[in-house]
Amino acid sequence: MHVTLLHYLVLAAVLFVLGLVTLATRRNAIGVLLGIELILNAANLNLVAFSRHGIGGVEGQVFTVFVIALAAAETVVALAIVLAIFHHYRTVEVDRVSQMKN
């Protein structure tokens, strides 16, 4: 069995949908971050798949490395914010923090 571009695209679509579902259903800040990471990984998979199958050359892989570095920085900053919110409000539930702000 040969893995084609369609296989990669279907897997990326599944990852993207799982990320959207996670964003829509989770009220926990960590769950929201996981949903964002799933969406970014789906985009990375698309970039690498197109680069691998001859559509675009090496630029897709270079951009993927850039997105991975950006996602790592985003995760560090977001986790620092979540930690600060937890120390201040004693919860990481997104709805409760927005209600406590008022």
Q: For residue 55, which of 46, 64, 43, 44 has the smallest C-alpha distance?
A: 46
d(CA 46, CA 40): 10
At residue 53, the pLDDT reads 85
One digit per residue, pLDDT tens: the chain, 102 residues? 888 999 999 999 999 999 999 999 988 889 999 999 999 999 999 999 988 887 767 888 888 999 999 999 999 999 999 999 899 888 888 777 776 665
Residue 93 in 3-state DSSP? strand
For the whole model, what pTM was predicted? Answer: 0.85
Residue 43's domain spans which residues? 5-100
CATH number of residue 66's parent domain: 1.10.287.3510
Number of domains in the chain: 1
